[in-house]
Structure 1
């Protein structure tokens, strides 16, 4: 079977590395032969591979960087909408799902000659519905919010490819993150960034602006070998309980994955493979718990000046099934210090866009109206979940572009604020004074950040945080020379 694994823009290389690692797991190798496509040299929004159908279960359970796992059903040349109808109606949909299940169809395109994607979507939907009605005598209902089955099609200038979505809800929805801070960061993007930094569980990790804890929780789950899909796979007795401040419904084991609602995956043989994959993952988790019995042993810590965000972090940590409480405290980033007796480590942070908490101070005080407007704009601008959605602007993507432009405008206004400029200068000096020997990584949409910190970056990696084009800057902090040694 052919798969296309979707990821955030800029994470194709880490995703290809992760897929190779998953394919080498003994329980995954037992499923059959995996052949991963060459690593893309330009942005593709994902990585393709050939593998047994059972690989869909392993990928949805184990991939931290993937947004979705798409199973290719057909690919063919096309010239007009009627060609799409013929392609979709010729597929045996009745072998994959029943007419009693609800359906959603999405179409994306890159240089397609068709004038209307909406009409193309309608033709594919009609083809699927007509096929099921002809075969079963009944037709499925359409549900664009919470469908049982998702079908995706991608159109190039000459070819159409039709996929079944084996993920269902996007994979960044782990089932634990129901509270967020002021710089929203999707979990799979955080995991991909951790991969880029080269951080390993044996290293100290610190986030002085941790917010709701996305970086640190993803790192802790990596260290403890907790699969990103563990909650959705029902690997815990009880699902995480949402807080009263939940900003989006938690995905639970009741939602599961899209493949669990497809007929081939409900056959006895596939069910046994699914149980074996979960058993192998559980055994690995138990071994890692011996190595890291509590939160202190992980060497992962953070801080934030906002007391409310620190409380959010603690709640998310517990919902992520991590041991005890996280090592964190309410503290200004300018007063943060390395964990005791640690001379080298990795610092990773995603400063809040717009209004910077660290220069406002206070114990979780309310933001100004401008900050709230900025966050509202960001919340409405979700990352495209398909590989080429950004290539053809629709009404929804136009709204994303407007949000992105408003964010840039607010950011430009802020950068002229003397307090903001002074904070960056002070924070850069603080890094030089207190974190010598550390590697510091900062995700930001501010391309001029190195100059404002007055530190030369050693590397910059282009990424997309939702609709925002960002850079992951790496700063190598050198140890300060001892003055006594200089006098000699």
Structure 2
């Protein structure tokens, strides 16, 4: 079977986990770069990467590449690309452009010229052109330009892959699902180990963990853009999908726990779990994290605590964090606790020393995943004492 060139994007900091996913899906020659990984593979590998990767944001198929000096060179590259071979004029189109160190002055104009070239190619071959739909297009062309070269891709994913099709109800500042999945992987959690999110919000960590417990592939309940391409093999896809669904299993003993001080958040998490048919894998309750009890002698606690960008919020959190640190010491000896935050004051205000801190990005926000090993009496920062003389 012929191989193609692809690029999968992901949250920055999770590239090595993405490569693991791609290799598991059958990809070859994976090469990580900041924000993603290049790979080669056949179409079943592309289908599986979309279906099975918990870390990828999109999987893009490279269809053209060339040098440029002006916008017209990019137009010519796009015009020479056989778009009608891959999708129909009746399908709607969107063009997106990312650039790094490009000398061109107007990226909007470059985007327009690529769109014009795609439409002109259709007109030249078929006498008709696709319509543009910027909200929910059938086909998405992604262009990337750097200082000297332009690469054109067709998006095989459609909606971003972190949109699993489960979460409808949200509370403030939910994490994207692929970032939450990456954080769970970085903690070392696996089904069978007790897991608690005591500030669960709308339940993103719980949704990802429940899917893993039940063996549900992250893309098993959604559709993909590759299904709308002319070269789509429905037989190959159905075989892959059937294999994934046959691997699903029952929950067994519940080892995933969630709580939140807000009843509204708990109801949102319950609704999302119910929508995904994942409730059997999770226990949920309303509780303040400062009073939460460990549901097992050992396990992993993971949370995305609030971090304020306004001064008033930061002052309020400065009093919340010490109480949180005391609660972790009091109730979670024997647990490994992971807190994801953009607030660099977190360890100091918790009065705990992290065993590890992993740089990650939540969108453009520079964050850290802090690991605290809660062995009774060993984590508190020493306080200065007067010299008795």
**Cα distance per residue 1:408-429 (max 9 Å; x no partner):** 3x1x433334xx3232112101
Match of 1:298 among 238, 254, 260: 254
1:332 aligns with 2:288: yes
**Cα distance per residue 1:136-195 (max 9 Å; x no partner):** 110111111111100000001011100000011111111110111223111111111111
User: In the alignment, what sits opposite 2:18?
Assistant: 15
Q: Is the contact between residue 7 and residue 62 of structure 2 (CA under 8 Å) also seen in structure 1?
A: yes
SS of match in other structure, 1:162: strand
Q: Distance in 2 between matches of 1:117 and 1:426?
A: 49
Q: Distance in 2 between matches of 1:319 and 1:455?
A: 38
Q: Is the contact between residue 71 and residue 113 of structure 2 (CA under 8 Å) also seen in structure 1?
A: yes
Taking the TM superposition and a 5 Å limit, the aligned residue runs for 1:5-404 are 5-23=8-26, 34-40=27-33, 44-232=34-222, 256-265=223-232, 270-285=233-248, 288-289=249-250, 292-293=251-252, 297-324=253-280, 326-339=282-295, 342-354=296-308
Divergent runs of 4+, >3 A: 323-326
* Equivalenced residues, count: 375
Q: Distance in 2 between matches of 1:326 and 1:313?
A: 10
1:444 aligns with 2:341: yes
Q: Is the contact between residue 183 and residue 350 of structure 1 (CA under 8 Å) also seen in structure 2?
A: no
Q: Distance in 2 between matches of 1:468 and 1:4?
A: 23
Q: Is the contact between residue 307 and residue 314 of structure 2 (CA under 8 Å) also seen in structure 1?
A: no
Q: Distance in 1 between matches of 2:156 and 2:338?
A: 34
Instruction: Output the TM-score relative to the length of structure 1.
Output: 0.75
Compute the displacement of 1:98 (Å). Answer: 1.0
The structure with more strand, counted as a fraction of residues: 2
SS of match in other structure, 2:170: coil
Q: Distance in 2 between matches of 1:148 and 1:38?
A: 29
Instruction: Output the TM-score relative to the length of structure 2.
Output: 0.93
SS of match in other structure, 1:54: helix
Q: Is the contact between residue 198 and residue 292 of structure 2 (CA under 8 Å) also seen in structure 1?
A: yes
The structure with more helix, counted as a fraction of residues: 1
1:428 aligns with 2:325: yes
Q: Distance in 2 between matches of 1:162 and 1:260?
A: 19
Task: Identify unmatched segments of 5+ residues in structure 2.
Answer: 379-389
SS of match in other structure, 1:193: helix
Q: Is the contact between residue 270 and residue 279 of structure 2 (CA under 8 Å) also seen in structure 1?
A: no
Aligned-residue Cα RMSD (Å) equals: 1.4
Compute the displacement of 1:468 (Å). Answer: 2.1
